[in-house]
Amino acid sequence: MQKDPVYDIVVHNGTVLTLNEGFDIFNRGLVCIADGSLKRVEDRPASEPPPSARHVIDACGGIIMPGLVNTHTHAAMSLFRGLADDLPLTIWLNDYIFKAEARWLNPERVYTGTLLSCAEMLLSGTTTFCDGYFFEDAVAAAVQKSGMRAILAQGIVDFPAPGVPDPKKNVAEAARFIEGWTGKTPLITPGLFCHSPYTCSEETLKEARRVADEADSLFQIHVAETQEEVKEIQQRQGASPVQYLDHIGVLNARTLLIHAIWVNEADIACMARHRVGVSVATESEMKLASGVAPIPEFLKKGLAVGIGTDGSASNNDLDMFQEMDTTAKLHKVLTLDPTVLDARQVLALATRSGAEAIGLGKQIGSLENGKKADLIIIDTHKPHLTPLYDPVSHLIYAASGSDVRDVIIDGQLVVRDRALLTFGLEPIFDSVADLARQIASY
Amino acid sequence: MQKDPVYDIVVHNGTVLTLNEGFDIFNRGLVCIADGSLKRVEDRPASEPPPSARHVIDACGGIIMPGLVNTHTHAAMSLFRGLADDLPLTIWLNDYIFKAEARWLNPERVYTGTLLSCAEMLLSGTTTFCDGYFFEDAVAAAVQKSGMRAILAQGIVDFPAPGVPDPKKNVAEAARFIEGWTGKTPLITPGLFCHSPYTCSEETLKEARRVADEADSLFQIHVAETQEEVKEIQQRQGASPVQYLDHIGVLNARTLLIHAIWVNEADIACMARHRVGVSVATESEMKLASGVAPIPEFLKKGLAVGIGTDGSASNNDLDMFQEMDTTAKLHKVLTLDPTVLDARQVLALATRSGAEAIGLGKQIGSLENGKKADLIIIDTHKPHLTPLYDPVSHLIYAASGSDVRDVIIDGQLVVRDRALLTFGLEPIFDSVADLARQIASY
């Protein structure tokens, strides 16, 4: 008689990067999963067969690591990927993106665009993302379908927005979203997202903060993204954007500051005092020519920093591997110091540190007993990943999203041998292509 | 009775990016190939069936474009990919790379390492590369096996080098290489590669120039790569590296200046006067923290600029798509101007302009009647390439090497449905992994 399997999934025969505090690496790694959580993460003698499980996955000598955490997206903006590039930010935003959003967005399209982005993220190794957009109920429905983990936030701006024609109701709409999705499904954590200190009034920001705190939700905001913003806030409020947010009392540890490019020493000290999380979005910030966030300074101050892709209308992809690569290299060349942001540091940003930045540090971001079973397997049997002296080096400097073979989230296989298991791609492709034809010929 | 096919290969049902001078794009493109050359490149009415050919390839709505030209590699350095990262240049070079080269290189290993790089380049859409290394005969043998087009150069330094223990014979060895490979096979063009103005004496540089000119070969040299180099040459020669090379008479139109990062206005004017080609290597230069070459200034002066990856020990991959993406974005953020280096300009750098920079502009770099049939097909039926408003935007900002489906070089299919047709990968993987184990445990 066969014994009942002990585990739901066992992954073996690969190098396990735990991303735990000691950065333990197990060259003959074994990961055992039951009830959505990690039960064993360890080195296994080559002589010992893997423990019994419903599903035994052979990593074939590849890399087993925590799923990547994308700390800043507007997932549905995949609908506008490549619609407009190489333009000054104001023209790109006002003449293309805001117009396209106002003209074309509805819940169904946001659902489709989000599914498209979930497909892209899953197939490139992202297991958790932190989103802010409009029609966020539709985003949540798509995320539920996809099997991804996410922090989802309804956007707040003080002008008429898609789905929220009356800006007076913007915070109430976000509050409704949080209430509706709190405790609804274990993979979705609702939050709110104030667009910026220059598009939200002091009253709006304070009210949003109150709502977020009441629900113990993450308060996200774009801040200090451009020099123009800093100038404008300085003129209007007599303080830098970060210090203005501090003065009005909206900064605390349940805050994610996005971009934080044009910040000075006092701003960083203020961010550290409040223990806010920070999300950089290197490639998008480069493409829009916004500037470069001082990541090494953030890390020196002990801030939890995550890496986001931003929306794919300004990136134009959601591949976190390329984001890690570019982030590491950009800071080296700007400082003319090749030791800045080494491969381990950057891998931590995209996993454990990113998870901390968005308030999920206790659940995800590393492979440790008791944490959620969110992990990916990298196929290293490829020319560009040969030879293999150091798996961490490869992940940052040579791998790309297409090297991800399998993806497990919350103990469920969602990608197997590069095939998406949770939903079909063809209807999404057709529907998005159809919309793009309408947009292009409008 | 069936008619004899008119063409060897016909590619249809895709968007053809010609990269001709007018940047013509054919949405229902057709490319006809015979005798290794392009015979027809045009738009085809949807009603018309494709012309008869021995091999008809359906691009399935993807992108058909010139193969990418990688203007700077040390292909065999794939053997040392990821051996050492995040280190100061001098430590990386002297303590790791030079030592590993001296200890481990031999013709057989250079052959294997080059084949590994050829596989990586082919599978990511590069059809031509410009290489400089040691044991270059072995490099040439590997390139011949791979089916790639290349300019290959024997390296010249004034100290004992792998395969050239007596530096007095360095130029003679390069001359021998050029003589041996001139006219031997249509895909390989031999040249020579002086390492730098600080590792080659004036006599060596002049003699190398003489040899190159006599054979009408490309003279490659790393120049103005670091601030230290500029300082050293300024002290030793009383001139900047570029102007020193000018003074001693080694600059002309058959010259490829590699890196050219720390150049001033007078240097650029001098480069333009001699109509030299330039190869940047953005990602490697970022990773080594060397600096950033002023590409926009080069283009303003009409210089032919190409993009190289450099060796994969300092990159750490040979994916020209990522190189294009990073190059475009880096210059935007450095100038804080998102219009700098737009997608079309960058695509031209990696194709027609790169071909010009290495002296192959008449044969390759664009899809035009009479040019060599070097082209690639991109599969756009993927989440990260959906929707498709603008194929050029996708190639620069969203695609990566793994989106390349088919590769044709000199009219021969060398990659079909992502499978390499010219050689087997498994023996290469085994052999490189075996060497890496020896190197790692040394």
pLDDT mean over B146-173: 97
The shortest CB-CB distance from B120 to any of A87, A384, A388 is to: A384
Domains of chain A: 7-66+372-420 (2.30.40.10), 68-357 (3.20.20.140)
Intra-chain end-to-end CA distance of chain B, in Å: 67
Q: Kindly tell me if the per-residue pLDDT of B2 is higher than 70.
A: no
As a whole number of Å, the end-to-end CA separation of chain A is 67
Cα atoms found within 13 Å of the Cα of residue B335, Cβ hemisphere only:
20
Question: Among partner residues A227, A289, A339, which is closest to B88 by beta-carbon distance?
Answer: A339
Cα distance between residue A351 and residue A346, in whole Å:
9
Cβ–Cβ gap B322/A400 under 8 Å: yes
Q: Using H for helix, E for strand and C for coil, what is the string for A274-323? A: HCCEEEECHHHHHHCCCCCCCHHHHHHCCCEEEECCCCCCCCCCCCHHHH
pLDDT in tens, B356-395: 999 999 999 999 999 999 999 999 999 999 999 999 999 9
C-alpha distance from A208 to closest chain B C-alpha (Å): 32
Nearest-by-Cβ selection for A389 from B82, B292, B318: B82
Cα A328 from Cα B315, distance rounded (Å): 12
Closest-CA residue of chain A to B381: A429
Interface test with A, best of B123, B126, B333, B335 (most A CBs within 10 A): B333
Band (pLDDT 50/70/90 cuts) for residue B3 is low
Measured CA to CA, the distance from residue B149 to residue A183 in angstroms comes to: 59
How crowded is residue A359: how many other Cβ atoms within 10 Å of its Cβ? 21
* SS3 state at A170: helix
At which residue do the structure tokens 């050919």 appear? B53
Contact residues for B159 (Cβ-Cβ < 8 A; gap 6+):
B167, B199
One-letter amino acid for residue B386 of the chain: T
Quick one: pLDDT at residue B424?
98
**R_g of chain A, CA atoms, integer Å:** 21
B20 close to B367: Cβ distance less than 8 angstroms: yes
Kindly state the DSSP code that residue B403 receives in the 8-state scheme: G
- Of A71, A130, A62, A148, nearest to A404 (Cα)? A62
pLDDT at B1 over 60: no
Residue B48 has which token pair? 């018309």
CA distance B422 to B410: 13
- Residue A116: closest CA among B381, B61, B372: B381
Identify which of A132, A148, A156 has the alpha carbon closest to the alpha carbon of residue A71. Answer: A132
Distance from CA of B180 to the nearest CA of A (A): 30
Which secondary structure element, helix H or strand E, spans residue A393, and what is its range?
helix A391-397
Candidate from B336, B387, B425 with C-beta closest to A433: B387
**What is the Cα–Cα distance from B362 to B357, expressed in whole angstroms?**
11
Tokens of B324: 């294009």
Of A83, A339, A390, the CB nearest to B87: A339
Q: Chain B closest CA to A89's CA: distance in Å? A: 7
Residue A232 corresponds to which amino acid?
E
Closest among B215, B294, B238, B228 to B89, alpha carbons compared: B228
Whether the predicted pLDDT of B143 surpasses 90: yes
- Provide, rounded to the nearest whole percent, the portion of chain B with pLDDT above 90: 96
Q: For chain A, which residues score pLDDT lower than 50?
A: 1
CB of B198 closer than 8 Å to CB of B244: no
**Contact criterion met (CB < 8 Å) for B329 and A286:** yes
Separation between Cα atoms, residue B86 and residue B289, nearest integer Å: 9
User: What ranges in B265-410 are assigned the alpha helix state H?
Assistant: 265-274, 282-287, 295-300, 320-335, 343-348, 354-357, 391-397
| Bond from prior residue into B45 cis (ω within 30 degrees of 0) | no
Distance from CA of A402 to the nearest CA of B (A): 7
Containing H/E element for A13? Answer: strand A7-17
> How far, in Å, CA of A414 to CA of B353, rounded?
43
- Give A394's contacts in chain B (Cβ within 8 Å): 82, 316
pLDDT tens readout for residues B338-356: 999 999 999 999 999 999 9
Mean pLDDT value across residues B75-91 = 94
Q: Can you tell me the mean pLDDT for B307-321?
A: 97
Distance separating alpha carbons of residues A401 and A405, to the nearest angstrom: 9
Is there a contact between A400 and B398 if contact means CB atoms under 8 Å apart?
no
Q: Which residue of B has its CA nearest to A340?
A: B86
How far CA A299 is from CA of A221, A253, A396, A413, B363, in Å, comes to 20, 16, 18, 34, 51
What would the pLDDT profile of A89-106 be if each residue is shown by its tens digit? 889 988 999 999 999 999
The residue type of A238 is: G
d(CA A156, CA A159): 9
Q: Which residues of A touch B73 (CB under 8 A)?
A: none
Tokens of B15: 């968007």
**Which residues does residue B66 pair with via DSSP β-bridges, in sequence order?**
B375
Write out pLDDT tens, residues A131-180: 999 999 999 999 999 999 999 999 999 999 999 999 999 999 999 999 99
CA distance B396 to B388: 13
> What length is written for chain B?
442
**Residue A416 bridge partners (DSSP):** A419
Size of interface A-B (CB pairs under 8 A): 217
DSSP string computed for B190-244: EEEEE--TTTS-HHHHHHHHHHHHHTT--EEEEES-SHHHHHHHHHHHSS-HHHH
CA distance B137 to A5: 57
Q: Which residue has the tokens 């990073």?
A: B326
Q: How many CB atoms lie within 10 A of CB A76?
A: 30
Compute the distance between CA of residue B366 and CA of residue B410 in angstroms, rounded to an integer. Answer: 13
